[in-house]
Structure 1
Amino acid sequence: MGTVALAVTDGMLHFELSLAYEVFGADLTAVADPWYRVSVCGPEAVRVGRFRLEPDHGLDRLQDADTVIVPGWADIDVEPPGDLVDAVRAAHEAGARVASLCTGAFVLAAAGLLDGRRATTHWAHTRALAERHPRVTVDPDVLYVDNGRVLTSAGKAAAMDLCLHLVRLDHGSSVANTVARRLVVPPHRDGGQAQFVTTPVPTPGNHPLAELLPWVIERLDHPLTVEDLARQARMSSRHLGRHFRSVAGTTPLQWLLTQRIRHAQELLETTDDSIESVAAATGMGTATTLRRHFNRTVGVPPDTYRRTFRARTRGGPDDNGHRLRHSGT
């Protein structure tokens, strides 16, 4: 997870490139030490939007990175440059984790990295991706897809979601939330959340759940039900479900479970509380229930998750061989 290479070529979208550099390239050793070492890899000089960019290294250096980020690029009607496609494929074959932002998915697809896999891109281009690459299972509705060493995101804000997801995988929820606060963005939107919802993106106070969501977060240790939430919001359960779909892009129960898992992750990372205590503090009731939901959602048991991030915090190796997933569907 130590080295991140941004793969660039003419026509890259500057927004996605900039946000990736802001997440991985900023000096955040005060948040997590060591932080990432970032390089920009591309031809001698490239045009990114209206800007001219001088890469640090050639595309051949991608295969030396632990993680390769392929930002979106503007003209999807043109085949991606062959040297970029070959370099991304070679990096993956060398063991790199490869992630695309927005239309960068077209580069990964051209490299064959998405064949037989589920993937996404900006909703306006999902049909083109599916038609051009029929071996890819294109999901037009989600924010991002994590296939382990191959990840894809939708456009713009979803690219930030995927970058924070990578930080969460590498450093844990507490660090990812700190980075999100620094960037003044939502700390966590689950990859399975819809790319767009039926109302504008909510800001505090301008949607029907504005008072309910903080109320729930403060009471995660309670055995809350959908009926409890509906009663607090003074609406029927059906009406509540419609508002959750509109505002959060998911169901009340799935949203509640995601908050419980997120809180459990932070407690496991930052405290020595027993699994039973974490289960009680997150409203899971018993250690058995916590282990079942945590393992299904995150991909490893709570005990393994704690050892993994304690080892990383202390600078030790993570040799358990497990791959952590995002907290949510």
Structure 2
Amino acid sequence: MEEAFRAAEDRERREIKEFEESREPNPWLRRVGWAVHLARLDRDDIREMVEPADDEEPELQILCKAFDWMIQNAQHTTVQEVVGQAALFEVNKKEANKETQMPFDSWMDITTVQSYTHVWRQILCYIVRAEEEEPIHWPAYKLTPRQEISIQILRESIREFQAWKHAEDAERDGSNGEEEEDKEGEWEESDEEIKRMKKVQRDVLQFCIDLLDHPLQDREYESAMISGLVVLGLRDDEGWLDAEDYTPKYSAAIKLARLMVVQEAYERKEEAMELLQERYSTQQQGISQDKSRWETSSYYHLISRMVKKFMTMSPGDRDPTPMQWIFQARLYGFKIRYTTTAEGCIQ
């Protein structure tokens, strides 16, 4: 009996409680509404959904690796020498019809890169894991039809890469170790592996873009991205992160979202140029690289369309998107951070 009582008490402790908004003394928690979204779910189970992928989740490990590689590529793409300065000003907009004072800067130190990519990997792991669970065990977000398609394409791409990798490893293991290992004792990625991983990177990027391109309509937490950000608000104990500790996660979401928009524009233009060259070749005609570049949409134009559609505050003629919610929540968090008196320190 005592053991059953302790088990029930433990379940009660782990269950996330939905408080009455009017009685919640913390204005930050009232504003973000996390407890309402996660009400009656098991805190420990939810936190596990954003843990790093382990060896028992090889597909998630591939996804996370592809995401990291994609962000590295995006940092090299998102520079004036590649896409032009006008495109960098455009992607840095917060309001569609208001010019920005500074172009977007893709540079980040290694610590920031690791911290920011960790936030996005947690969101992706959460969504992929949640899609494998029964609906009663995860928050009530809802993928759009486009997101459902892109996550299936991504999973298939990962499975194809995984099958190729297993075959490659089996062949390598049977070759009596003729290939050389690198200094750390790990096998270096072959050109073929890098080529195949590019397909996974492209599909990861597309899924992330689809997460951003989500009209919120009347229910913000139906967005899988916003739902994932909610889970990141859980502390290791029974509490929630305060505004000071949490707003950097919003900054991570914004910074990498802008990087990915530029990378998406770059990929779309490259694909359009390739299709144009193929069309000319079928007609037994040639087309130069410069001409194909001129005959396809510019990086600026491609970026501008995405920025206006889902990367800025809604001007009123479309539904808000996750980015608007993030901008507004971060702004509120900043106000709390910079107006809260710090604790005294006696030296």
Relative contact order, higher structure (CA 8 A, sep 6+): 2
Query: TM-score, with normalisation over the residues of structure 1?
Result: 0.30
| Larger radius of gyration between Structure 1 and Structure 2 | 2
Which protein has the bigger helix share? 2
